[in-house]
Amino acid sequence: MNDPIYFVIIYFAFVLLLGFYSWFKIKTPSDYYVAGKNARLVPVSGSLLATILGGSAILGTIELSQNIGWAALWFLFCAALGLFVLAPLARYVSRYGKYTLPGLLGHFFGERARFISSLVIPLAWLGIVGAQIIAAAKILTGLGIIGYSAAAIVAGTVFIIYTLVGGQVSILKTDTLQSVLIITGLAALTIFAAETPTAGSLPKLTTGELFNASFTGIDLVILILTYSVTFVVGPDIYSRVFCAKDEKTATRSVLIVAVILIPISFGLTFLGIYSSATGSREIMSFAQHLLPNWFYGLFVAALLSAVMSSADTTLLTSSLILSELFHPDMEDKKAFRLTRILIVVLGFFSIIIALFVTSILQSLLLALTFFSGAFVVPMLAGLLRIKVVKPQLTAAILAGGFVALAGKLINLWGNPLAGNIVIIFAFAVNGILLFVDLKRDRN
């Protein structure tokens, strides 16, 4: 065994032990769900950052920049844009929300809205958890000691056990430390890469590099509609806000993370361009050549930290949402027990997804596209107190989500322009059904 493998073993052992330790710190269901809703600025900010930088953001940005160059900056720029929009709304999310986004929708629009969103969101979010397992499997495969399928099963199993035993208490304990580890690892890799002779021959960043034949203005519009908006309205993002001890903490945490994402975007995009130029398209490959062996082990742990932070948050959030569907009173012991059962069930299906879909961005964007088409407009309407046609809410959610998903599928496997037009149309359909009383107009 070499040093990086030792680091991986130690890391997995550490998070599992911390999860079991947190088991004994959980006194109430609220502790398990939202850490007692008493988290301060640093834990909330650290957890939010770690959740966003989960493997799909890090490896996804690098994968994208290998294909479209500096235009990949827009990926995390759009995430930051979404958080800047969320910042003034965060106080309302904290004020009216308790445990889940469907619970918040139910507060605004009634039981029907809560029911349909509780059914749909966990299904869409299976793709998000699957993306984290894909990312972790690629990291482990890069060590050369295990195949992809076995790596996906190992990573998924660790994620499930850690989330199952520790809940939100363990997640908040580790996420701040993991954020520091992630940023340190990425910064070191960027510095080492920038000092190599290859760095001098890379394409320079100019305004003309922000768009190209592979990424046009309409692609940016679609990215905003399907990606940025999930940071304005997103179950995983809101789960961090729900943990904040007050509205001021929630707002400040969102702003801090939005600012931090901007320099991180530059670093990740540079690393993707660098790896493409050197022919080492897998981050593990070029990191191993650039970093000292002991530091490479820390970097592997940093990547796994990123994936773990996002996976545990998303898995717990999805399980909470489904559990709330059957038990509106989440303080009930039956709801608590069901939540833990669902963590295992949803985690298992996420592993299955990871075994058959190996593209991080493909898994991520399919799930996010459905979610954004279905829920962004209704949630913004609720937060801004805009009146909607409640009898048409279910139709708006389903039509918006499925039309957006159809557009994304057309984009991936058919005509990209036609697919993008369909995605934009999905938001129009969603808005019309929400705000225009079609029954009254017919009369």
What is the average per-residue pLDDT within 100-119? 88
- The span from the CA of 146 to the CA of 139, in Å, is 10
Task: Reply yes or no on whether the pLDDT at 442 is more than 70.
Answer: no
Degrees (nearest 5) of the Cα angle 253, 259, 262? 140
Least confident of 102-106, 248-252, 298-302: 298-302
H/E element, 343: helix 333-356
Could you read off the pLDDT of 84-104 as tens digits, one per residue? 999 999 999 998 888 888 888
Q: What is the mean pLDDT of residues 317-330?
A: 87
Our CA angle for 227, 419, 318, nearest 5°, is 40
CA distances from 312 to 3, 25, 51, 57 (A): 26, 18, 9, 15
Is residue 131 pLDDT above 60, yes or no?
A: yes
Residue 53: per-residue pLDDT:
84
- The b/e string for 217-233 (b: 16+ C-beta within 10 A; e otherwise) is eebbebbbbbbbbbbbb
Token reading at 147: 């195949």
| pLDDT for 179 | 87
Region of poorest pLDDT, from 78-87, 144-153, 303-312 = 303-312
How far apart, in Å, are the Cα atoms of 318 and each of 117, 324, 347, 374, 379? 11, 10, 10, 16, 17
| pLDDT (tens digit per residue) in 342-355 | 999 999 999 998 88
Q: Where are the domains of the chain?
A: 3-358
> Which pLDDT does position 154 carry in this prediction?
92
Percent of the chain with pLDDT over 70: 96
pLDDT tier at 81, thresholds 50, 70, 90: very high
Q: Which CATH superfamily is domain 3-358 in?
A: Sodium/glucose cotransporter (1.20.1730.10)
pLDDT of residue 364: 66
Q: What are the φ and ψ backbone dihedral angles of 155, each rounded to 5 degrees?
A: -60, -45
| Range of 21-25, 187-191, 278-282 with top mean pLDDT | 187-191
3 pLDDT above the threshold of 80: no
- Tokens standing for residue 346: 């949803």
Per-residue confidence (pLDDT) for residue 441, from 0 to 100: 56
How does residue 435 score in pLDDT terms, banded at 50, 70 and 90? very high
Confidence label for 121 from pLDDT (cuts 50, 70 and 90): confident
* CA dihedral of residues 328, 329, 334, 340 (deg, nearest 10): 70
Which pair of tokens denotes residue 302?
Answer: 């940093």
What is the predicted pLDDT for the residue at 2?
A: 57
pTM of the model: 0.86
3-state secondary structure of 39: strand
> 10 Å Cβ neighbour count for 385?
8
Q: How far apart are CA 338 and CA 437, in angstroms?
A: 38
Q: Above 60 in pLDDT, residue 311?
A: yes
Confidence of residue 244 (pLDDT cuts 50, 70, 90): very high
**319, two tokens:** 């399980």
Rounded to an integer, the average pLDDT of 116-134 is 83
**What is residue 213's three-state secondary structure?**
coil
**Mean pLDDT, all residues of the chain:** 86
